[in-house]
Structure 1
Amino acid sequence: MKRSLKRRLQEGTVIVGEGYLFELERRGYLQAGSFVPEVALANPDALKQTYRDFMNTGSDVVLAFTYNAHREKMRIIGKEELLEPLNRSAIRLAKEVAKEHPLEEALVAGNISNTNIFDPYDESSKSKVREMFAEMAQWSKEEDVDFINGETFYYHEEAEIALEEILKKDLPAVITLGLMGENILRDGYTVEESCKILSEKGALVVGMNCFRGPDTMQPYIAKIRKHVDGYVGALPIPYRTSDEHPTFFNLPDGGCSCHLPTETTFPTALDPLYHNRYELAEWAKEAKGIGVNYIGLCCGASPAMLRAVAEAVGKETINSPYSPNMEKHFLFGKDKTLKEHNVGYRFKA
């Protein structure tokens, strides 16, 4: 039988692959800038393969790619009539892939996210946000997801609205916050205050995702872990953010001599700023060590990075047989049948 999210959390660490937004842009199926997941309708096979790649490298969850598939984003690109078909298609494709797991069917999560129209001083904006979340949560309910992931909220109150609408559908809720450069949510809450409230109001998992790499997210995750009695999640981006540049929105690339068409390296010139998979694996061990239960990676992540994270916390993935093994490499291997003149040349190559 497929275990619920709660049971999996009770029995160990849950690995969650996110980052479809950047991954599908890299693969050529999504436009950077608008970042709307039209791929669910325009190229469903590409989306299924992306789901599959992250599941096979360790994700216990196939997260329906409906991030930014809300009414406001669809309005901006002039395709509001595709809103419901897009949401339903993304979930149905996720369910198809989840059933392919050879050991235990993966969980399927609906997904709602920051709307970018929430204004704490504008009650009409709050009503619009609630309506947007309510309809997406309803479609998730009707498509029979296992839980709903509400993510990347930089206002506490918007996260609360998301939680309320998810719980109205009698579904488990995972709520994660996106912390911008002020190191505080934009309506004045600290992330630990916000997560404590959200957990007490019924979220199964609370924590952080996106915007920050491991170095600038982990200190806040540690605070959340101390303040929250329930399950805690952490899904950083795989980029080398710093105290000076805590998010990927303004990360400089000092080595770039070319002219960038954008004001910063975000979102299409971040390539030189990646953490390698071994650094991400060390972060995952640290996160698990302080009691983080729901671990993953967000925008920028690749399946190989997620596999390293999963293996670092003790999980064998479907694709673990393809994890790096340099024993047979012609220069760096130690297999006794390798040619000595090649192995000896490794220091000169």
Structure 2
Amino acid sequence: MSSLDKRGLKERLTAGENVLVAEGYLFEFERRGYLKAGAFVPEVVLKHPDLVRSLHEEFVHAGSDVVLAFTYYGHREKMRLIGKEDLLEPLNVGALRIAREVADKTGTLMAGNICNTTIFQRGDKEAVAKTRAMFKEQIEWAVQEGADFIVAETFSELGEAKVALEAIKEYGKGLPAVVTLAPQATDKTYDGVPMGEACRQLEEGGADVVGLNCHRGPKTILPLMTEVRRACKGPIACLPVPYRTFEECATMQSLKDPITGRREFPVDLPAHLCSRTEIGEFARACRAMGVQYAGLCCGNSSHFMRVLAEGYGRSPPSSKYSPDMSQHYVFGSDPSFKKYYQEGLIETVSLNNKV
């Protein structure tokens, strides 16, 4: 993407372009030892802002068109749970400023981010009001710090997603809204609405992009995306987790150790990571389906993002270092030492098979 490209999200999508988005900051910083699994609060923004900046840059290098401010689970309720509600505004403003800085530097878009509040309860007026108030303050900070659009994500209830969309429309000063639902083991939202129909309602409610993110891996999210594509007229989004979910274990939360039967979420999920080949296949399937807003969620890393970008026909800067096995001393095409090492490899494989 050119650093001179000043077009917004809607302009790019209207022109028929695809927008690729790297998510997954929570899991990546937990893996690196800068964030605690369980609470999953992005305190790293305050303690190590340089690392957040670096990961933004790494994802852009790998092909992301968007720098998503790391405010996921940085909302009032999560901060209250860890006793640091007084740091709510510094965390949000800090994350937004880092994202804006990187977006300006790299010529990408910057998105503000709101998500499931963990307190929403349908039919409970007080809970709904608190949910709306939490969205309001985060949206207003995003507007203040120059976000290009707002992402509202990982909602298992259509009702909460609608509250988020209404808040963006009321407090977002006209910024575009991307709203995505998080499908659980069933094909409906918690409030009983099929995913395609739920996305259609959000689209009709004024969301500029609708779709699905998180919980499900590529294999179990794509069938639902077919429903979303059929139900919606405008741009659709798909951002699964990069884990090998399947019919019996449709979500990452339901994946189990094949030997012990123990639940793997969250710390042992790497045992279920997709291959790069599978991510490439997912990207090509999304592109063929007409998914214009695509990415990966929890478990994402820059090498996956590069493969996804390449699946969309891109060559991001990191593609300079995409694998080229022709240069490998055993499997490559250079005749130097090739026969010697291949014979040794064949002998080793033969011995292993006899054990």
Common fold by TM > 0.5: yes
1:214 is aligned to 2:227: no
Map 1:1-349; keep pairs closer than 5 Å. 1-9=5-13, 10-101=15-106, 105-168=107-170, 169=172, 170-255=174-259, 264-349=263-348
- Return the letter of the residue paired with 1:72: E
Q: In structure 2, what is the Cα distance between the partners aligned to 1:256 and 1:338? A: 45
Per-residue CA deviations over 1:217-247 (Å, capped at 9, x if unaligned) read: 0000110000100100000001111111111
Q: In structure 2, what is the Cα distance between the partners aligned to 1:126 and 1:256? A: 41
* Length, aligned pairs only: 341
- Return the letter of the residue paired with 1:194: A
Kindly indicate whether the alpha-carbon contact (under 8 Å) linking 1:331 and 1:344 is maintained by their aligned counterparts in 2: no
Q: In structure 1, what is the Cα distance between the partners aligned to 2:334 and 2:7? A: 42
Worse-superposed segment, 204-213 or 319-328: 319-328
Q: In structure 2, what is the Cα distance between the partners aligned to 1:318 and 1:140? A: 28
CA positional deviation for 1:339: 4.0
Q: In structure 2, what is the Cα distance between the partners aligned to 1:256 and 1:307? A: 34
Kindly indicate whether the alpha-carbon contact (under 8 Å) linking 1:328 and 1:338 is maintained by their aligned counterparts in 2: no
Kindly indicate whether the alpha-carbon contact (under 8 Å) linking 2:327 and 2:334 is maintained by their aligned counterparts in 1: yes
Worse-superposed segment, 324-333 or 293-302: 324-333
SS at match of 2:21: strand
Q: In structure 1, what is the Cα distance between the partners aligned to 2:58 and 2:333? A: 30
List structure 1 runs of 4+ shifted beyond 6 angstroms.
Answer: none
Per the normalisation by structure 1, the TM-score is: 0.95
SS at match of 1:319: helix
Q: In structure 2, what is the Cα distance between the partners aligned to 1:183 and 1:199? A: 19
Q: In structure 2, what is the Cα distance between the partners aligned to 1:320 and 1:338? A: 28
Q: In structure 1, what is the Cα distance between the partners aligned to 2:300 and 2:77? A: 26
Worse-superposed segment, 23-32 or 4-13: 4-13
SS at match of 1:15: strand
SS at match of 1:34: coil
Q: In structure 1, what is the Cα distance between the partners aligned to 2:259 and 2:318? A: 35
SS at match of 2:264: coil
Per-residue CA deviations over 1:123-178 (Å, capped at 9, x if unaligned) read: 11000000000010000000010000000000101101111111222110000000
- Return the letter of the residue paired with 1:166: I
Q: In structure 2, what is the Cα distance between the partners aligned to 1:125 and 1:326? A: 56
Q: In structure 1, what is the Cα distance between the partners aligned to 2:314 and 2:345? A: 33
CA positional deviation for 1:27: 1.0
Kindly indicate whether the alpha-carbon contact (under 8 Å) linking 1:40 and 1:89 is maintained by their aligned counterparts in 2: yes
CA positional deviation for 1:293: 0.7
Per-residue CA deviations over 1:241-275 (Å, capped at 9, x if unaligned) read: 11111111120121469xxxxx6210001111111
- Return the letter of the residue paired with 1:48: R
Per-residue CA deviations over 1:285-324 (Å, capped at 9, x if unaligned) read: 0111111111100000111011001001101101110111
Kindly indicate whether the alpha-carbon contact (under 8 Å) linking 1:332 and 1:346 is maintained by their aligned counterparts in 2: no
- Give percent identity, aligned residues only: 46
Q: In structure 1, what is the Cα distance between the partners aligned to 2:47 and 2:176? A: 30
Q: In structure 1, what is the Cα distance between the partners aligned to 2:139 and 2:323? A: 40
CA positional deviation for 1:96: 1.6
Q: In structure 1, what is the Cα distance between the partners aligned to 2:10 and 2:347? A: 53
Q: In structure 2, what is the Cα distance between the partners aligned to 1:333 and 1:233? A: 39
What CA RMSD, in Å, does the superposition of the two structures yield over aligned residues?
A: 1.3
Q: In structure 2, what is the Cα distance between the partners aligned to 1:192 and 1:42? A: 40
SS at match of 2:222: helix
Per-residue CA deviations over 1:5-31 (Å, capped at 9, x if unaligned) read: 112222321111001111111111111
Worse-superposed segment, 144-153 or 167-176: 167-176
Per the normalisation by structure 2, the TM-score is: 0.93
CA positional deviation for 1:347: 3.0
Kindly indicate whether the alpha-carbon contact (under 8 Å) linking 1:61 and 1:106 is maintained by their aligned counterparts in 2: yes
Kindly indicate whether the alpha-carbon contact (under 8 Å) linking 2:100 and 2:146 is maintained by their aligned counterparts in 1: no
- Return the letter of the residue paired with 1:280: I
Kindly indicate whether the alpha-carbon contact (under 8 Å) linking 1:288 and 1:313 is maintained by their aligned counterparts in 2: yes
Q: In structure 1, what is the Cα distance between the partners aligned to 2:309 and 2:46? A: 30
User: Judging changes above 3 Å, is the alpha-carbon distance between structure 1 residues 14 and 181 closer, same or farther for their aligned structure 2 residues?
Assistant: same
- Return the letter of the residue paired with 2:26: L
